[in-house]
Structure 1
């Protein structure tokens, strides 16, 4: 699991969405940082402003109690905020708040996006901390993130059979696979 870092760009996008006072997810095209799609967690409250600590506890602690690793009986509506927060290849976050009169909205963007279809109930690899980064670990979190993107979902599997990284026409679409050996990427 990667150590999170604050993203000013993700926070600016989250603020732009919060300022609209619309409780629903923004389009994926409005949530991109450095070419990568970002996930989005939302919370609407009517009982007065919450502290960010309380917001994060609602998304993490409360939902973590319902989460069972690898169990496809988990409902994304019940655990989706939590799985986005602990997604192994997510390493940037930016959040925003807006008072919308009678209610408040909290928005966080997580980049790159987690909750990938078919992998939702395995947001990280089960095992000991930092097993994916034994030489680049801080506080039981990995720091070996990859800033590149694979634009094709099968780059990793195809590269095992063919040398895609030496072919310019293909390697530009498989940046993470070709440029991030030994690093964590989505």
Structure 2
């Protein structure tokens, strides 16, 4: 694809038709080509997740979904309902860069809805899908549930809306900080519900109940640990950016433990997930355990994918909203808008055990992870900045200290 040839700072759009849209990303300081196709696929998944996070850059009115701010362009390109086809590529260049791009078959229009929001609680149907393109069918199963399916690659005609929006009201219920990214230039997945531990927990009835042994397989447990340790390793080695683009990376860590899986914590997490919560549990009910919770929209997302999405969502908080250079957990940090408190729990150096649970509920797939020793303690440090592994007793591997025996 010419867009990424030679990994330019700005995409080469010479051969891209004007009616197509493009998302583009650059990663600098990549010393060597990635070792496998899977490594490139994993990197592409991270880039796409960062584009999705541009949803935090603008207050998109959920009642009208009118595209009125180009700052969220990468996200708008992904969710635009008239886009029927996509082509992507990622490559490494000798300039020690990775370039990634996706070209979309259509381009969202400023001042127009990104999709038909429909009535509250309504799901897609054959009629609603045909409003977008003739012959489209609603998909009612698997991880594509709720999307309109078609074999066409481009909309032959533009749909006509039956009503005109005369006023646009932007949401002011909360102020969102600028979405930040680890890419230099950029020109999938619905929004997950974010919650804070200070909110009152509410519950709903689970729509599907499975035995824990059917949900938390060993493969899922292994993935939980591998993702936690991989993330913590990159942080300990000073490879994670601290907040918005242009900020320096977080410092290297002296005391970052390697984590292990804990079945007792899994049992606790599963019990809470089974209650179909919509917010974190009260700290008084788990004084020695930390907790992260995520609601994945839909009830058919594969369990492994739900876990991966939740962990990625928690960790990438740091790319949108940084922490102080001392890496100290403070009351101010916890209470600022869109505080990265799920990241800080995952990154808490002295936490070395984790266990998770999942449940299908009426409001989505609930993912809960419990941590010990718990993090997010006022005046304590997320980790100690300094010489990597400087406080480790025994061997150090990939920036991580050995897991304590007990």
**Counterpart-to-counterpart distance in 1, 2:363 and 2:284:** 29
Give, in whole Å, the separation in 2 of the partners of 1:5 and 1:30.
23
The correspondence for 1:2, drawn from 246, 257, 269, is: 257
Shift of 1:23: 1.8
Q: Are the counterparts in 1 of residues 352 and 403 from structure 2 also a CA contact under 8 Å?
A: no
- In the other structure, the counterpart of 1:142 is 401
1:134 is displaced (CA, Å) by 5.4
Cα shift at 1:68: 2.4
SS at match of 2:358: strand
Alignment of 1:20-39 (within 5 A): 20-28=275-283, 30-31=285-286, 37-39=288-290
Q: Mark the runs of 5 or more structure 2 residues left unpaired by the alignment.
A: 1-255
**CA-atom RMSD in angstroms:** 2.3
Is the aligned partner of 1:125 residue 2:384?
A: yes
Report how many aligned residue pairs link the two structures.
140
Q: How does 1:1-186 map to 2 (within 5 A)?
A: 1-28=256-283, 30-31=285-286, 37-48=288-299, 49=301, 50-61=305-316, 63-65=317-319, 66-69=321-324, 70=326, 74-76=333-335, 77-119=338-380, 122-133=381-392, 135-143=394-402, 145=404, 147=406
Structure number with higher relative contact order (C-alpha < 8 Å, ≥ 6 residues apart)? 1
Measured against aligned partners, the alpha-carbon deviations of 1:53-110 in whole angstroms (never above 9, x if no partner) come to 221110002x111122337654455210000001010000001111102312110001
Judging by fraction of residues, say which structure has more strand: 1
Paired with 1:51 and 1:103, the residues of 2 have a C-alpha distance of 10
Provide structure 1 residue ranges, at least 5 long, that are not aligned to the other structure.
148-186
Greater Rg, structure 1 or structure 2?
A: 2
TM-score (norm 1): 0.66
Range that drifts further, 20-29 or 104-113: 20-29
Contact kept, 8 Å, 1:88 with 1:123, in 2: the verdict is: yes
